[in-house]
Amino acid sequence: MITFQFVFLVALLAAPPPNPTAQDIIDRLSDAPAKEAQGNLGQTRSLRNLAPKMRAIDMNIQFEFNSAKITQEGSDALQQLSIAMKSAQLLESRFVIVGHTDAKGTAQYNLDLSSRRAQSVLGYLKSQGIDIGRLEAVGKGFNELLNEDDPLAAENRRVRIVAVSTP
């Protein structure tokens, strides 16, 4: 019994976190909290509240091994992203799609792979009716590991969506 519980716990911890829903994405990428904070500027004594917070969300988009082809699971997650991008809260926003890899392989190979994967996400969003004028795709390779203690960890292989501007 203890062995089963331990194995289950290890498997649960090793599994990547579930991808966010469309509402989760809207909540993370919309500038509503920033606008609320602006309304309280006269009440603060600290400048730290004036610095804009980056509005970004990491998504565990699945791709075929050693490829930029999005899997069905990846398509399901991107469907939620496209729904969020079409929402009234995000309709006027622009986004940078940032591809990341783990540290397995050479720096140049991973930079290329992360760029191709970011372009695949951009292509998917375009196919869902998102105006590509609102999107930019960038690859980072393994330059910005999420888990620096384990450079080969699954959470390092991700796509980050960053809201860069609103009207």
pLDDT band for position 19 (cuts 50, 70, 90): confident
Choice between 135 and 55, residue whose per-residue pLDDT is larger: 135
Tell me the β-bridge partners of 63.
Answer: 70
pLDDT at residue 138, rounded to an integer = 97
pLDDT at residue 133, rounded to an integer = 96
pLDDT at residue 78, rounded to an integer = 96
Which of these ranges, 66-70, 118-122, 139-143, has the smallest mean pLDDT?
66-70
pLDDT at residue 166, rounded to an integer = 61
Which of these ranges, 45-49, 62-66, 84-88, 145-149, has the smallest mean pLDDT?
45-49
Q: Is the pLDDT of residue 11 over 90?
A: no
CATH topology of domain 52-167: 60s Ribosomal Protein L30; Chain: A; (3.30.1330)
**Per-residue model confidence as pLDDT tens digits over 81-104:** 999 999 999 999 999 999 999 999
Mean pLDDT of the chain: 82
CA–CA separation, 163 and 95 (whole Å): 5
**Per-residue model confidence as pLDDT tens digits over 112-138:** 999 999 999 999 999 999 999 999 999
| CB count in 10 Å sphere of residue 146 | 15
pLDDT at residue 49, rounded to an integer = 53
pLDDT band for position 41 (cuts 50, 70, 90): very low
